Amino acid sequence: MVMKKALSRSPIRALTMALAMALALAPGWPAAWADQAGRVTPVVKVVRQTAPAVVNISAKGRASIRPFRSGDENIDRFFEEFFGPMEREHSSLGSGVIIDGAKGLIVTNSHVVSRASQIMVQLADNRRFAAKVLGADPDGDLALLRIEAPGPLPQVRLGDSDQLMIGESVIAIGNPFGLSHTVTSGVVSALHRKVKAGQGKWLDDLIQTDASINPGNSGGPLLNADGEVIGVNTAIYANAQGIGFAIPVNRLKRIVSDLARHGEVIPAWLGLKLQDLNPALAAHFGLKQARGVLVREVSPQSPAAQAGFKRGELILAMQERPLEDTSDYLARLRGVSVGQMVSIQVLSGGRTVTRQVLAKAFPLERAMEEAWRRLGFRVREMRQEDAVRHRARPGSAVVISQLRPDSRALDIGLRPGDLVRQVGETPTPNLAVFQREIAKHRLLNRITILVQRGPASQFITLGQ
Protein backbone atom coordinates (compact mmCIF):
# COMPACT_ATOMS: atom_id res chain seq x y z
CA MET A 1 0.00 0.00 0.00
CA VAL A 2 2.80 2.36 0.86
CA MET A 3 4.53 1.37 -2.36
CA LYS A 4 1.40 2.17 -4.40
CA LYS A 5 1.13 5.63 -2.87
CA ALA A 6 4.75 6.41 -3.57
CA LEU A 7 4.36 5.23 -7.14
CA SER A 8 1.20 7.31 -7.58
CA ARG A 9 3.00 10.49 -6.45
CA SER A 10 6.05 10.06 -8.65
CA PRO A 11 4.34 11.13 -11.90
CA ILE A 12 3.10 14.26 -10.15
CA ARG A 13 6.61 15.03 -8.93
CA ALA A 14 8.02 14.47 -12.39
CA LEU A 15 5.36 16.70 -13.95
CA THR A 16 6.12 19.48 -11.46
CA MET A 17 9.82 19.36 -12.27
CA ALA A 18 9.10 19.41 -15.98
CA LEU A 19 6.86 22.46 -15.61
CA ALA A 20 9.55 24.27 -13.56
CA MET A 21 12.13 23.59 -16.28
CA ALA A 22 9.76 24.82 -18.97
CA LEU A 23 9.03 28.03 -17.08
CA ALA A 24 12.73 28.63 -16.50
CA LEU A 25 13.22 28.59 -20.27
CA ALA A 26 10.15 30.68 -21.02
CA PRO A 27 10.39 34.42 -21.92
CA GLY A 28 9.92 36.66 -18.89
CA TRP A 29 10.95 33.99 -16.40
CA PRO A 30 14.38 35.54 -15.68
CA ALA A 31 12.74 38.72 -14.27
CA ALA A 32 10.41 36.71 -12.06
CA TRP A 33 13.25 34.45 -10.96
CA ALA A 34 15.34 37.56 -10.19
CA ASP A 35 12.59 38.85 -7.91
CA GLN A 36 12.45 35.52 -6.09
CA ALA A 37 16.22 35.28 -5.83
CA GLY A 38 16.56 38.79 -4.41
CA ARG A 39 18.43 40.15 -7.41
CA VAL A 40 16.09 43.10 -7.82
CA THR A 41 18.16 45.38 -5.62
CA PRO A 42 17.24 48.96 -4.67
CA VAL A 43 19.48 50.16 -7.52
CA VAL A 44 17.58 48.03 -10.04
CA LYS A 45 14.27 49.38 -8.77
CA VAL A 46 15.45 52.98 -8.99
CA VAL A 47 16.73 52.48 -12.55
CA ARG A 48 13.48 50.85 -13.69
CA GLN A 49 11.52 53.70 -12.16
CA THR A 50 13.58 56.65 -13.40
CA ALA A 51 15.50 55.65 -16.56
CA PRO A 52 12.56 56.38 -18.91
CA ALA A 53 12.79 60.05 -17.89
CA VAL A 54 16.52 60.35 -18.69
CA VAL A 55 17.26 61.74 -22.16
CA ASN A 56 20.20 62.07 -24.52
CA ILE A 57 20.95 65.63 -25.72
CA SER A 58 22.97 66.55 -28.80
CA ALA A 59 23.68 70.21 -29.59
CA LYS A 60 25.26 71.89 -32.61
CA GLY A 61 26.34 75.49 -33.14
CA ARG A 62 28.99 77.84 -34.42
CA ALA A 63 31.49 79.77 -32.30
CA SER A 64 33.99 82.54 -33.00
CA ILE A 65 37.60 81.43 -32.68
CA ARG A 66 40.85 83.30 -32.32
CA PRO A 67 43.19 81.93 -35.03
CA PHE A 68 46.35 83.74 -33.91
CA ARG A 69 47.80 83.74 -30.40
CA SER A 70 51.21 85.39 -30.28
CA GLY A 71 51.01 86.39 -26.63
CA ASP A 72 51.04 90.07 -27.63
CA GLU A 73 47.56 91.60 -27.45
CA ASN A 74 48.28 94.27 -30.08
CA ILE A 75 49.68 91.78 -32.61
CA ASP A 76 46.78 89.38 -32.07
CA ARG A 77 44.28 92.20 -32.58
CA PHE A 78 46.08 93.30 -35.78
CA PHE A 79 45.84 89.81 -37.28
CA GLU A 80 42.15 89.56 -36.34
CA GLU A 81 41.33 92.91 -37.90
CA PHE A 82 43.36 92.03 -41.05
CA PHE A 83 41.95 88.54 -41.62
CA GLY A 84 38.49 89.13 -40.16
CA PRO A 85 36.57 86.97 -37.68
CA MET A 86 36.67 83.19 -38.00
CA GLU A 87 34.05 80.67 -36.91
CA ARG A 88 34.10 76.96 -36.23
CA GLU A 89 31.22 74.52 -35.98
CA HIS A 90 31.02 72.70 -32.67
CA SER A 91 28.87 69.92 -31.27
CA SER A 92 28.33 68.48 -27.82
CA LEU A 93 26.68 65.46 -26.26
CA GLY A 94 25.12 65.36 -22.84
CA SER A 95 22.27 64.10 -20.74
CA GLY A 96 19.11 65.57 -19.31
CA VAL A 97 16.16 64.58 -17.17
CA ILE A 98 12.45 65.26 -17.63
CA ILE A 99 11.07 67.10 -14.59
CA ASP A 100 7.59 67.85 -15.99
CA GLY A 101 6.22 65.27 -18.41
CA ALA A 102 3.01 67.16 -19.12
CA LYS A 103 4.83 70.31 -20.23
CA GLY A 104 7.87 68.57 -21.73
CA LEU A 105 10.34 70.38 -19.43
CA ILE A 106 13.88 69.02 -19.30
CA VAL A 107 16.79 70.07 -17.11
CA THR A 108 20.42 69.79 -18.22
CA ASN A 109 23.71 71.61 -17.78
CA SER A 110 24.10 75.03 -19.35
CA HIS A 111 27.44 74.05 -20.89
CA VAL A 112 25.77 71.18 -22.78
CA VAL A 113 23.60 73.58 -24.81
CA SER A 114 25.80 76.68 -24.68
CA ARG A 115 25.76 78.67 -27.96
CA ALA A 116 23.81 75.91 -29.70
CA SER A 117 21.72 76.72 -32.75
CA GLN A 118 20.21 73.23 -32.93
CA ILE A 119 19.33 70.96 -30.00
CA MET A 120 17.93 67.44 -30.38
CA VAL A 121 16.60 65.33 -27.53
CA GLN A 122 16.35 61.54 -27.76
CA LEU A 123 14.05 59.77 -25.32
CA ALA A 124 14.57 56.34 -23.82
CA ASP A 125 12.13 54.89 -26.40
CA ASN A 126 14.36 56.35 -29.19
CA ARG A 127 11.92 59.09 -30.20
CA ARG A 128 13.69 62.33 -31.17
CA PHE A 129 12.45 65.91 -30.72
CA ALA A 130 13.86 69.37 -31.40
CA ALA A 131 14.27 71.28 -28.13
CA LYS A 132 13.99 74.94 -27.28
CA VAL A 133 15.99 76.62 -24.51
CA LEU A 134 13.56 78.37 -22.16
CA GLY A 135 16.38 79.83 -20.13
CA ALA A 136 19.92 79.18 -18.96
CA ASP A 137 22.02 80.10 -15.96
CA PRO A 138 25.70 79.74 -16.96
CA ASP A 139 26.87 80.70 -13.47
CA GLY A 140 24.91 77.84 -11.94
CA ASP A 141 25.52 75.61 -15.01
CA LEU A 142 21.84 74.77 -15.44
CA ALA A 143 19.48 75.13 -18.40
CA LEU A 144 15.77 74.48 -18.90
CA LEU A 145 14.61 72.98 -22.21
CA ARG A 146 11.18 72.21 -23.62
CA ILE A 147 10.08 69.68 -26.22
CA GLU A 148 6.68 69.34 -27.86
CA ALA A 149 5.59 65.71 -27.52
CA PRO A 150 2.20 64.32 -28.64
CA GLY A 151 1.41 63.05 -25.16
CA PRO A 152 2.59 63.12 -21.54
CA LEU A 153 6.15 61.94 -20.88
CA PRO A 154 7.68 60.08 -17.93
CA GLN A 155 9.13 62.34 -15.27
CA VAL A 156 11.22 62.14 -12.11
CA ARG A 157 10.52 63.20 -8.54
CA LEU A 158 12.71 65.89 -7.00
CA GLY A 159 14.12 65.18 -3.55
CA ASP A 160 15.64 67.40 -0.85
CA SER A 161 19.42 67.84 -1.07
CA ASP A 162 19.50 69.50 2.36
CA GLN A 163 18.73 66.08 3.84
CA LEU A 164 21.68 64.30 2.20
CA MET A 165 23.95 62.18 4.38
CA ILE A 166 27.61 61.52 3.66
CA GLY A 167 27.90 57.82 2.84
CA GLU A 168 24.36 57.27 1.57
CA SER A 169 23.91 55.40 -1.69
CA VAL A 170 23.41 57.29 -4.96
CA ILE A 171 22.86 56.31 -8.59
CA ALA A 172 23.89 58.25 -11.70
CA ILE A 173 22.21 57.74 -15.08
CA GLY A 174 23.45 59.37 -18.27
CA ASN A 175 25.02 58.98 -21.68
CA PRO A 176 28.81 58.91 -21.20
CA PHE A 177 30.67 58.95 -24.51
CA GLY A 178 27.30 58.60 -26.25
CA LEU A 179 26.55 55.25 -24.57
CA SER A 180 22.85 55.69 -23.87
CA HIS A 181 21.41 55.10 -20.40
CA THR A 182 24.57 54.03 -18.63
CA VAL A 183 24.05 53.40 -14.90
CA THR A 184 26.69 53.81 -12.19
CA SER A 185 26.32 53.76 -8.44
CA GLY A 186 28.27 54.86 -5.40
CA VAL A 187 27.90 56.99 -2.31
CA VAL A 188 27.82 60.65 -1.34
CA SER A 189 31.52 61.28 -0.68
CA ALA A 190 31.26 64.87 0.59
CA LEU A 191 29.00 67.92 0.58
CA HIS A 192 29.47 71.66 -0.08
CA ARG A 193 32.46 71.20 -2.40
CA LYS A 194 33.86 74.06 -4.50
CA VAL A 195 35.25 73.26 -7.96
CA LYS A 196 36.96 75.45 -10.54
CA ALA A 197 34.92 75.47 -13.76
CA GLY A 198 37.06 77.80 -15.89
CA GLN A 199 39.19 80.90 -15.67
CA GLY A 200 37.86 82.99 -12.83
CA LYS A 201 34.75 80.80 -12.53
CA TRP A 202 33.85 78.44 -9.71
CA LEU A 203 30.93 76.13 -8.99
CA ASP A 204 30.08 76.15 -5.30
CA ASP A 205 28.21 73.96 -2.84
CA LEU A 206 28.46 70.81 -4.96
CA ILE A 207 27.77 67.20 -4.02
CA GLN A 208 30.86 64.99 -4.37
CA THR A 209 30.24 61.35 -5.31
CA ASP A 210 32.28 58.31 -6.29
CA ALA A 211 29.55 57.14 -8.68
CA SER A 212 31.44 57.07 -11.99
CA ILE A 213 30.72 60.24 -14.02
CA ASN A 214 32.26 60.61 -17.49
CA PRO A 215 31.93 63.07 -20.40
CA GLY A 216 28.34 62.81 -21.62
CA ASN A 217 26.96 62.28 -18.11
CA SER A 218 26.68 66.05 -17.75
CA GLY A 219 23.08 67.07 -17.14
CA GLY A 220 21.93 63.61 -16.06
CA PRO A 221 20.37 62.92 -12.66
CA LEU A 222 22.01 61.82 -9.44
CA LEU A 223 19.38 59.81 -7.55
CA ASN A 224 18.95 58.56 -4.01
CA ALA A 225 17.77 55.10 -2.99
CA ASP A 226 14.14 56.30 -3.07
CA GLY A 227 14.41 57.19 -6.76
CA GLU A 228 14.39 60.95 -6.11
CA VAL A 229 16.68 63.35 -7.96
CA ILE A 230 19.05 64.88 -5.42
CA GLY A 231 21.50 66.42 -7.90
CA VAL A 232 22.41 67.12 -11.53
CA ASN A 233 25.76 65.67 -12.61
CA THR A 234 28.01 68.44 -13.82
CA ALA A 235 31.77 67.94 -13.43
CA ILE A 236 34.61 65.48 -13.04
CA TYR A 237 38.29 65.63 -12.18
CA ALA A 238 39.99 64.72 -15.45
CA ASN A 239 43.03 63.15 -13.74
CA ALA A 240 41.22 61.31 -10.97
CA GLN A 241 38.98 58.30 -10.65
CA GLY A 242 35.97 58.09 -8.38
CA ILE A 243 35.56 61.86 -8.01
CA GLY A 244 32.50 63.44 -9.59
CA PHE A 245 30.29 66.39 -8.70
CA ALA A 246 26.61 67.26 -8.92
CA ILE A 247 24.58 70.44 -8.45
CA PRO A 248 22.22 70.06 -5.44
CA VAL A 249 18.58 69.68 -6.43
CA ASN A 250 17.45 72.41 -4.04
CA ARG A 251 19.44 74.93 -6.05
CA LEU A 252 17.92 73.43 -9.20
CA LYS A 253 14.39 74.07 -7.85
CA ARG A 254 15.11 77.75 -7.28
CA ILE A 255 16.83 78.31 -10.64
CA VAL A 256 14.25 76.37 -12.66
CA SER A 257 11.45 78.36 -11.05
CA ASP A 258 13.06 81.61 -12.26
CA LEU A 259 13.87 80.21 -15.71
CA ALA A 260 10.31 78.96 -16.22
CA ARG A 261 8.73 82.27 -15.16
CA HIS A 262 11.23 84.82 -16.44
CA GLY A 263 13.58 82.99 -18.84
CA GLU A 264 16.48 83.99 -16.60
CA VAL A 265 17.59 83.85 -12.99
CA ILE A 266 16.56 86.91 -10.99
CA PRO A 267 19.54 87.67 -8.70
CA ALA A 268 18.72 88.12 -5.04
CA TRP A 269 20.17 91.17 -3.30
CA LEU A 270 20.93 91.81 0.35
CA GLY A 271 23.19 94.86 -0.06
CA LEU A 272 26.30 93.62 1.76
CA LYS A 273 29.89 94.06 0.62
CA LEU A 274 32.17 91.74 2.57
CA GLN A 275 35.79 90.79 3.10
CA ASP A 276 37.56 87.67 4.33
CA LEU A 277 39.10 87.40 7.76
CA ASN A 278 42.84 87.11 8.25
CA PRO A 279 44.48 85.75 11.44
CA ALA A 280 44.86 89.27 12.90
CA LEU A 281 41.16 90.10 12.38
CA ALA A 282 40.15 86.70 13.74
CA ALA A 283 42.20 87.38 16.89
CA HIS A 284 40.56 90.81 17.22
CA PHE A 285 37.15 89.12 17.37
CA GLY A 286 38.43 86.44 19.77
CA LEU A 287 38.25 83.64 17.20
CA LYS A 288 40.70 80.75 17.07
CA GLN A 289 40.22 80.33 13.30
CA ALA A 290 39.68 82.85 10.50
CA ARG A 291 36.11 81.80 9.71
CA GLY A 292 33.27 84.13 8.85
CA VAL A 293 33.08 87.33 6.81
CA LEU A 294 33.49 90.96 7.83
CA VAL A 295 30.95 93.57 6.72
CA ARG A 296 32.95 96.13 4.72
CA GLU A 297 30.02 98.18 3.44
CA VAL A 298 26.21 98.22 3.69
CA SER A 299 24.42 99.69 0.68
CA PRO A 300 22.02 102.50 1.63
CA GLN A 301 18.31 101.55 1.65
CA SER A 302 19.23 97.92 1.02
CA PRO A 303 17.59 94.91 2.73
CA ALA A 304 20.67 94.59 4.96
CA ALA A 305 20.48 98.26 5.96
CA GLN A 306 16.80 97.85 6.81
CA ALA A 307 17.65 94.81 8.93
CA GLY A 308 20.16 96.83 10.97
CA PHE A 309 23.52 95.66 9.59
CA LYS A 310 26.50 97.94 10.20
CA ARG A 311 30.03 98.21 8.90
CA GLY A 312 32.54 96.24 10.98
CA GLU A 313 30.17 93.50 12.10
CA LEU A 314 31.17 89.86 11.69
CA ILE A 315 28.83 87.40 9.96
CA LEU A 316 29.25 83.91 11.42
CA ALA A 317 26.47 81.87 9.82
CA MET A 318 23.80 82.02 7.11
CA GLN A 319 20.66 79.92 7.09
CA GLU A 320 21.89 78.20 10.27
CA ARG A 321 25.09 76.99 8.59
CA PRO A 322 28.53 78.42 9.52
CA LEU A 323 30.19 80.61 6.88
CA GLU A 324 33.78 79.96 5.87
CA ASP A 325 34.59 83.01 3.72
CA THR A 326 33.17 85.39 1.10
CA SER A 327 33.06 82.73 -1.63
CA ASP A 328 30.98 80.59 0.70
CA TYR A 329 28.63 83.54 1.29
CA LEU A 330 28.26 84.16 -2.47
CA ALA A 331 27.50 80.50 -3.08
CA ARG A 332 24.73 80.60 -0.47
CA LEU A 333 23.35 83.84 -1.88
CA ARG A 334 23.03 82.25 -5.35
CA GLY A 335 20.63 79.77 -3.79
CA VAL A 336 18.40 82.49 -2.30
CA SER A 337 15.17 83.44 -4.06
CA VAL A 338 13.77 86.95 -4.30
CA GLY A 339 11.22 87.34 -1.51
CA GLN A 340 12.90 84.72 0.69
CA MET A 341 13.66 85.50 4.32
CA VAL A 342 17.35 84.86 5.07
CA SER A 343 18.58 84.10 8.58
CA ILE A 344 22.04 85.56 9.34
CA GLN A 345 23.99 85.17 12.58
CA VAL A 346 26.13 88.19 13.43
CA LEU A 347 28.75 89.04 16.05
CA SER A 348 28.01 92.65 16.96
CA GLY A 349 29.28 94.57 19.99
CA GLY A 350 30.55 91.37 21.58
CA ARG A 351 27.13 89.68 21.36
CA THR A 352 25.88 87.07 18.91
CA VAL A 353 22.52 87.98 17.38
CA THR A 354 20.42 86.56 14.56
CA ARG A 355 18.82 88.88 12.03
CA GLN A 356 16.21 88.15 9.39
CA VAL A 357 16.80 89.79 6.01
CA LEU A 358 14.20 89.88 3.22
CA ALA A 359 16.00 89.26 -0.08
CA LYS A 360 14.98 91.59 -2.90
CA ALA A 361 15.71 91.78 -6.62
CA PHE A 362 18.90 93.63 -7.43
CA PRO A 363 17.89 97.17 -8.50
CA LEU A 364 18.83 97.53 -12.17
CA GLU A 365 19.47 101.25 -11.78
CA ARG A 366 22.57 100.28 -9.78
CA ALA A 367 23.90 98.09 -12.60
CA MET A 368 25.57 100.93 -14.50
CA GLU A 369 27.53 102.01 -11.44
CA GLU A 370 28.43 98.37 -10.86
CA ALA A 371 29.78 98.17 -14.43
CA TRP A 372 31.75 101.40 -13.88
CA ARG A 373 33.26 100.00 -10.68
CA ARG A 374 33.85 96.41 -11.82
CA LEU A 375 34.49 96.72 -15.56
CA GLY A 376 35.79 100.27 -15.75
CA PHE A 377 33.41 101.67 -18.37
CA ARG A 378 29.89 102.91 -19.09
CA VAL A 379 27.81 102.03 -22.14
CA ARG A 380 25.05 103.56 -24.27
CA GLU A 381 22.59 102.27 -26.86
CA MET A 382 23.89 101.43 -30.33
CA ARG A 383 23.29 103.94 -33.15
CA GLN A 384 23.15 103.54 -36.90
CA GLU A 385 26.62 105.06 -37.38
CA ASP A 386 28.03 102.54 -34.87
CA ALA A 387 26.61 99.68 -36.91
CA VAL A 388 28.11 101.10 -40.11
CA ARG A 389 31.54 101.73 -38.56
CA HIS A 390 31.85 98.23 -37.13
CA ARG A 391 29.98 96.44 -39.95
CA ALA A 392 27.60 95.07 -37.33
CA ARG A 393 23.89 94.40 -37.36
CA PRO A 394 21.88 97.29 -35.87
CA GLY A 395 20.60 96.48 -32.39
CA SER A 396 23.18 93.74 -31.79
CA ALA A 397 25.30 95.42 -29.09
CA VAL A 398 25.78 98.30 -26.69
CA VAL A 399 28.57 100.85 -27.11
CA ILE A 400 31.29 101.90 -24.65
CA SER A 401 30.72 105.58 -23.97
CA GLN A 402 33.27 106.31 -21.20
CA LEU A 403 36.31 104.61 -19.66
CA ARG A 404 37.47 105.00 -16.06
CA PRO A 405 40.99 106.55 -16.01
CA ASP A 406 42.50 103.99 -13.61
CA SER A 407 40.79 100.92 -15.10
CA ARG A 408 42.26 97.77 -16.62
CA ALA A 409 39.82 98.23 -19.51
CA LEU A 410 41.71 101.40 -20.45
CA ASP A 411 45.09 99.73 -19.90
CA ILE A 412 44.39 96.85 -22.29
CA GLY A 413 43.32 99.22 -25.05
CA LEU A 414 39.53 99.46 -25.02
CA ARG A 415 38.23 102.72 -26.48
CA PRO A 416 35.00 104.71 -26.45
CA GLY A 417 32.99 103.51 -29.43
CA ASP A 418 33.90 99.81 -29.06
CA LEU A 419 30.94 97.45 -29.08
CA VAL A 420 30.05 95.17 -26.17
CA ARG A 421 28.17 92.28 -27.75
CA GLN A 422 28.02 89.87 -24.86
CA VAL A 423 28.34 89.60 -21.07
CA GLY A 424 29.22 86.06 -20.06
CA GLU A 425 27.40 83.87 -22.56
CA THR A 426 24.42 86.19 -23.09
CA PRO A 427 24.18 88.66 -26.01
CA THR A 428 23.58 92.28 -24.94
CA PRO A 429 21.61 93.97 -27.76
CA ASN A 430 20.45 96.88 -25.58
CA LEU A 431 20.95 98.63 -22.25
CA ALA A 432 18.18 96.74 -20.47
CA VAL A 433 19.77 93.34 -21.20
CA PHE A 434 23.25 94.68 -20.36
CA GLN A 435 21.98 95.87 -16.97
CA ARG A 436 20.34 92.51 -16.22
CA GLU A 437 23.52 90.63 -17.09
CA ILE A 438 25.67 92.89 -14.93
CA ALA A 439 23.24 92.28 -12.07
CA LYS A 440 23.51 88.51 -12.60
CA HIS A 441 27.31 88.53 -12.83
CA ARG A 442 28.01 91.02 -10.06
CA LEU A 443 28.80 88.24 -7.56
CA LEU A 444 31.60 86.79 -9.71
CA ASN A 445 35.20 87.82 -9.08
CA ARG A 446 35.75 88.32 -12.80
CA ILE A 447 33.37 89.02 -15.69
CA THR A 448 33.98 88.01 -19.31
CA ILE A 449 32.68 90.27 -22.09
CA LEU A 450 32.76 90.04 -25.88
CA VAL A 451 34.09 93.26 -27.43
CA GLN A 452 34.00 94.15 -31.12
CA ARG A 453 36.01 96.76 -33.05
CA GLY A 454 35.53 96.79 -36.79
CA PRO A 455 35.10 93.20 -38.00
CA ALA A 456 37.17 91.68 -35.16
CA SER A 457 35.70 90.36 -31.91
CA GLN A 458 37.49 89.31 -28.77
CA PHE A 459 36.59 87.94 -25.34
CA ILE A 460 38.08 89.95 -22.46
CA THR A 461 37.92 89.17 -18.74
CA LEU A 462 37.72 92.10 -16.31
CA GLY A 463 37.14 92.62 -12.62
CA GLN A 464 39.04 92.02 -9.41
- Name the residues annotated as catalytic: 111, 141, 218
What secondary structure, in 3-state letters, does the chain show? Answer: CHHHHHHHHHHHHHHHHHHHHHHHHCCCHHHHHHHHHCCCCHHHHHHHHHHHHEEEEEEEEEEEECCCCCCCHHHHHHHHHHHCCEEEEEEEEEEEEEEECCCCEEEECHHHHCCCCEEEEECCCCCEEEEEEEEEECCCCEEEEEECCCCCCCCCEECCHHHCCCCCEEEEEECHHHCCCEEEEEEEEEEEEEEEEECCEEEEEEEEECCCCCCCCCCCEEEECCCEEEEEEEEECCCCCCCEEEEEHHHHHHHHHHHHHHCCCCCEECCEEEEECCHHHHHHCCCCCCCCEEEEEECCCCHHHHCCCCCCCEEEEECCEECCCHHHHHHHHHCCCCCCEEEEEEEECCEEEEEEEECEECCHHHHHHHHHHHCCEEEEECCHHHHHHHCCCCCCCEEEEEECCCCHHHHCCCCCCCEEEEECCEECCCHHHHHHHHHHHCCCCEEEEEEEECCEEEEEEEEC
